[in-house]
Structure 1
Amino acid sequence: MKFSTSSILKACCMLFVIPLLNGCVLSDISDQRPTEVITIDKSDPQWQQHLSRIKAIGHYQNQGQIGYISAKERFSSRFEWQYQGPQNYRLKLYSTVSSTSLMLQRHQSGLTLTDNKGNRRSERDAKLLVREIIGTDIPLEHLAQWLKGQPDENSNYQVGENHYLAGFSYNAEGALWTADYLNYHTQLTPALPKDILLKHSDQTLKIRVDNWTF
């Protein structure tokens, strides 16, 4: 059964508002970009080795929490991300205190949104559907690399003294995004991001990745 934009917004409200009643949007991750970051040269051999390792991860999945803040709204949700390729990935958003969930699935013909009641909507234009749900154009096509801590090598990015990606700025279809990598799961090989702060204009997206499988 297909459903309308109003149904999408109602489902989003049910999903996202409930977690906010229990606390702030990932309050232990700052809303502000760090200012005192020590960086090293991009030619650093350890960074180049690390970059090669994360590039080699073509299929992976992770779980965690995502928080969104703008001048008009705030929400928080658990997420599960599974990536198999540029035309085959899915993002599940769900509440920990109710059965409400939304599944965004990318396929050859576009993007499909499905809720836990079996209602669904498909769009050839993935950006249009994401914009209706969240209110901003999150570049899903880049998210797969950004989650791994893999920058576009033609972008303006910085390498931290830990030899991992520290941050970058990237222009996606006229919108300037910045990302800061605040913490890593250093027990993994290669180390993969734990806390990420993404910003665009007056919008902030906080991501905490709890678990990685690759």
Structure 2
Amino acid sequence: MLIFKICFYRLLPLSVLLLAACSALKAPESSSVLKNHIASDEWQEYQHQLKQIQQFQIQGSVAYFSDEKKAYARFFWQQYSPKNYHLLLLSPLGQTEFELKVTNGRVDMAKYKDQGEIKGNAEEILFKLTGIPIPLEHLSRWIVGASSDADEIILNRQSRLKTLIHHKKEQTWKVYYQAYNTKITPILPERLELYLISPNHQDQRMTLKINHWILK
């Protein structure tokens, strides 16, 4: 079993984060036309390949920006099946900061530091502990570049996702695929930016960098 060295930092010094803060809350614009349905053979074949990915491991980093908060963390995610996964965040000393296990779509175990197990919905638990609204319900598909739950999409010239838009109640998630890892088959995302737009809340942004992919 491959073990990654993972570090978790609640909040980076402001001087470090200011380098990215200037554009933190402004979603990139695109001149492309949004399309609800894409029928090209190349696109359909690529999506078929992605649907075959049921198990994977990824390790990387996530940066979070809002008007009130800026944070940076390292993460480890292991997907066992579509509704079974394990998310782990560790401190610089190797201590567990947050651990989440989901089985059959339900939280099997959630721990935060030494507070013991926590009950509730996975997204709600993570939001209460970190203040970051990570869309865990959809993230495993967005990570691989699948568009199964998208309301609108834009493709790049290689017939892979450039932009994905997902509406959930009064919230809108916009996912921008900035880079792909071309050294693995199928080609998978390497850098994503996620924007959450809410009418009654501040806009928020997350940058997800995937350093390692392991497919099973």
Which bracket does the TM-score occupy, shorter chain normalised?
0.7 to 0.9
* Aligned counterpart, 1:113: 110
2:54/2:82 contact within 8 Å kept? no
Q: Structure 1 unaligned runs (5+)?
A: 1-13
Q: CA RMSD in A?
A: 2.8
2:179/2:189 contact within 8 Å kept? yes
**Aligned partner of residue 121 in structure 1, secondary structure:** coil
* Aligned counterpart, 1:160: 156
Q: Counterparts of 1:63-102 in structure 2 under 5 Å?
A: 63-95=59-91, 97-100=92-95, 101-102=97-98
Tell me which of 23, 26, 37 is aligned to 2:16: 23
- Are the structure 2 counterparts of residues 26 and 157 from structure 1 closer, same or farther at C-alpha, using a change threshold of 3 Å? farther
| Corresponding pairs, count | 198
Letter in 2 for 1:33: A
1:74-102 per-position Cα deviation (integer Å, ceiling 9, x unaligned): 1100000111124321111234x433432
Letter in 2 for 1:93: L
1:112/1:120 contact within 8 Å kept? no
> Post-superposition shift, 1:105?
1.7
> Post-superposition shift, 1:34?
3.0
> Post-superposition shift, 1:153?
5.5
**Aligned partner of residue 24 in structure 1, secondary structure:** helix
**Aligned partner of residue 67 in structure 1, secondary structure:** strand
TM-score by length of 1: 0.80
Tell me which of 169, 184, 187 is aligned to 1:188: 184
* Aligned counterpart, 2:171: 175
Q: Structure 2 unaligned runs (5+)?
A: 1-7, 198-202
What is the distance in 1 between the residues matched to 2:50 and 2:213?
13
- Are the structure 2 counterparts of residues 73 and 157 from structure 1 closer, same or farther at C-alpha, using a change threshold of 3 Å? same
Name the % identity: 24
- Are the structure 2 counterparts of residues 22 and 88 from structure 1 closer, same or farther at C-alpha, using a change threshold of 3 Å? farther
> Post-superposition shift, 1:24?
2.5
What is the distance in 2 between the residues matched to 1:190 and 1:73?
36
